[in-house]
Amino acid sequence: MDISVLTLFPGMFAGPMDQSILGRAQERGLVSIALYNIRDFAQDRHHVVDDTPFGGGPGMVMKPEPLFLAVEAVRAELAERRGAVAADDSPVILLSPQGRPFTQVVARELAAHDALVFICGRYEGVDARAEDVLATDVISIGDYVLTGGEIPAMAVIDAVVRLLPGVLGDDASAVEESFSDGLLEGPTYTRPAEYRGMTAPEILLSGDHGAVARWRRRQALLRTWQRRPDLLASADLSDEDRAYLRELESGGEPQ
């Protein structure tokens, strides 16, 4: 996957994008992350990228010209590497608190593309013409306001890249974890089996794979019911799952 990020602060990406799983994914050629400094596309002598809002109001707004030129330059580079069709089909994602909520479903949807372009806003955000014309998607990472789109872009990139085939050591990790089937993952344990008097559930040490799978499913249902009951409405549930949830609703002993 080809990822292009337009930002005023490319230095913020060093570290989070270069280490651990994302760093290895880049080294192995599974993903490339190219950073573009929006300031380099400002054409005036002082490389000004922001201006005061028309009509007054606090703060500054990111000017449209550098953003249009930057997206055009990225598209041209993508077209050279992947062809015009792929470049035209690549989503251009503006990070904004006003965007559609980012979820695991959206991460999976984005992971199906060969290339993604991210625009990180700053200040009071970007000129509305850049949002209306350049962005094919607007994504929010939550109902709170951050100082810029860099951390949201990194969150989205991290969630997407770990879904790409071959990126995780064990691809099953991405299948069995929270949200993969609409449920939270249940509790996990590792050695030692007993620590300060607290023991890991015996069933996990039993070697009975069927019993372990059933226990895990119930724990996932229980945890989701306790912590995020809103997820249950759209989760993928079997008749057995529903029967267990009815037991929980009627005050049955969780097991």
Rank residues 54 and 144 by Cβ distance to ligand SAM and give the closer one. Answer: 144
The beta-carbon contacts of 88-92 under 8 Å, at least 24 apart in sequence, are 89/113, 90/2, 90/114, 90/115, 90/116, 90/117, 91/116, 91/117, 91/136, 91/137, 92/117, 92/119, 92/134, 92/135, 92/136, 92/137
Q: What's the min distance (Å) between Cβ of 146 and ligand SAM?
A: 4
| CA pair distance 53, 58, nearest whole angstrom | 8
CA distance between the termini of the chain: 43
Rank residues 142 and 201 by Cβ distance to ligand SAM and give the closer one. Answer: 142
Site string for ligand SAM, 149-168 (x = CB under 6 A): x--x----------------
Rank residues 147 and 199 by Cβ distance to ligand SAM and give the closer one. Answer: 147
Restricting to residues 130-149, name those near ligand SAM by CB under 6 A: 140-142, 144-149
| CA pair distance 73, 31, nearest whole angstrom | 20
Structure tokens at 173: 């990790």
Sheet holding 137-140, edge to edge: 32-37, 2-7, 115-119, 92-101, 137-140
Site string for ligand SAM, 51-90 (x = CB under 6 A): ----------------------------------------
What is the number of other CB atoms lying within 10 angstroms of the CB of residue 87? 20
Q: What's the min distance (Å) between Cβ of 88 and ligand SAM?
A: 24
| CA pair distance 40, 53, nearest whole angstrom | 22
Q: What's the min distance (Å) between Cβ of 31 and ligand SAM?
A: 21
Q: What's the min distance (Å) between Cβ of 94 and ligand SAM?
A: 7
Degrees (nearest 5) of the Cα angle 156, 137, 116? Answer: 55
Q: Which residue is nearest to ligand SAM (CB)?
A: 121
Q: What's the min distance (Å) between Cβ of 129 and ligand SAM?
A: 14
Rank residues 4 and 96 by Cβ distance to ligand SAM and give the closer one. Answer: 96
Rank residues 120 and 157 by Cβ distance to ligand SAM and give the closer one. Answer: 120
User: Tell me, what amino acid is at 219?
Assistant: Q
| CA pair distance 158, 151, nearest whole angstrom | 10
Site string for ligand SAM, 89-128 (x = CB under 6 A): ------xxxx---------------------xxx-xxx--
Chain residues that interact with ligand SAM, rule: CB under 6 A: 95-98, 120-122, 124-126, 140-142, 144-149, 152
